Amino acid sequence: MILSRRKKFFFSVIAVMLSLVVVLVGLLAADLIVHHRAEKSAGLNRYGYRGPVVGRKAAGELRVAMVGGSTTFGYGVAWNESIPAFLEQKLKARLNRPVTVLNLGFNNEGAFAFLPNLQDFESLDYDVIVLYEGYNDLPGDEGPNRGVYRRTSAIFRRFGYFPILPLYLEEKARALRYGSVGAAYEALATKGGDPNQVVFRPGFAQRTSAAALETISSMTQALDGQLAQTAAAPPPVAKQSALGCVFPYVMYCDSVAAAVRFGRERGKGVVVGAQPHLPGARSSDLHAKQQEMLSAMIARVFGADRQVVRADFSQLVDLTDINVTFDGMHLKPEANAAVAAALVDPVIAASAIRQ
């Protein structure tokens, strides 16, 4: 049977569409597998937040959304060793009722990301918001941090699904191509030597595997990019805000205030936390100045609102103590538990729960 040109074109279009569907289904299946493996360790679940996916809110359940950067996320520890996970445990023990604490932290994000993240996860029906970030905004208005990393994915923006496969493949390819720095250090820790002298030389098979993974990663990123829209250039930061904050922390204060207003307009309690002061003269001075300006703004603008609670943990733990932190910033599990314990009373106060 001889097909007409129109039928040939029609069948060609169907074949291409079916092939595309097969590829998309395959990528989605692979992405779900990676999410399943990673969500309880160092990754995010399929909806883009850390820890297991939460279900429908139970009767009498208190839900807390904690937003911030890597110290909220729990960089270097498992999901259940992060501040939000410990806070959930401690609130349950204290209140004797269902409690869920959502870990909405994302590495490198600053206060500018508070409001977008609260908006993106509003459907989770949280009752209290904990704002916990200052480190990633230390450069201030001279180098404003406008990162909202989940929103860089058009798939997340449109469907609420956060694809993790591109990042996973990139990391695997990097490990194949350059070797695992962590493994080198671990080996040297037992055998001795200088890790800076370690030279990793991948074989042909490893280089080929790395190239294949990089190609697939590029494909998935390109697929996401086809849906993306060009963002408008951000406006310049003013030297002084209507809230009374001044350079270099105008954007930081304004971003925190915007997140507090968002919560209070919806009847949610808000805790504004101050992280432990960083070591080092310059960092410590900047962090102290930043948090003093923020505290003054909170008192000035929201001081009459009893459900806006300032929680100062600047002196709670010593970030020069190697028993507390991995790197002078990110806390070990025991220190995360200490911060969580200190958050219990502020969260209860912000929620206006009668014990």
pLDDT for residue 21 is more than 80: no
- How far apart CA 185 and CA 196 sit, in angstroms, is 9
> pLDDT tens across 163-199, in order?
876 665 555 555 555 554 344 333 333 334 433 343 4
10 Å CB burial of residue 287 (0-12, 13-18, 19+) is: buried
CA distances from residue 110 to 114, 120, 152, 167, 251 in whole angstroms, order as listed: 7, 16, 15, 21, 10
> pLDDT tens across 270-290, in order?
999 999 999 888 889 999 999
Amino acid, res. 147 = G
> pLDDT tens across 69-105, in order?
999 999 989 999 999 999 999 999 999 999 999 999 9
CA dihedral (61, 66, 70, 74) in degrees, to 10, reads -20
Cβ–Cβ < 8 Å for 278, 328: yes
Q: Which residue has the higher pLDDT, 281 or 226?
A: 281
> pLDDT tens across 248-268, in order?
999 999 999 999 999 999 999
* Ranges of CATH 3.40.50.1110 domains, the chain: 62-144+237-351
> Whole-number mean pLDDT of the chain?
80
Domain 62-144+237-351 has CATH 3.40.630.10: no
pLDDT at 341: 98
Tokens 């300032």 — which residue?
310
Count of CB atoms situated within 10 Å of the CB of 320:
11
- How far apart CA 173 and CA 328 sit, in angstroms, is 29
β-pair partners for 270: 129, 308
pLDDT at 211: 47
Residue 213, H or E segment = helix 204-225
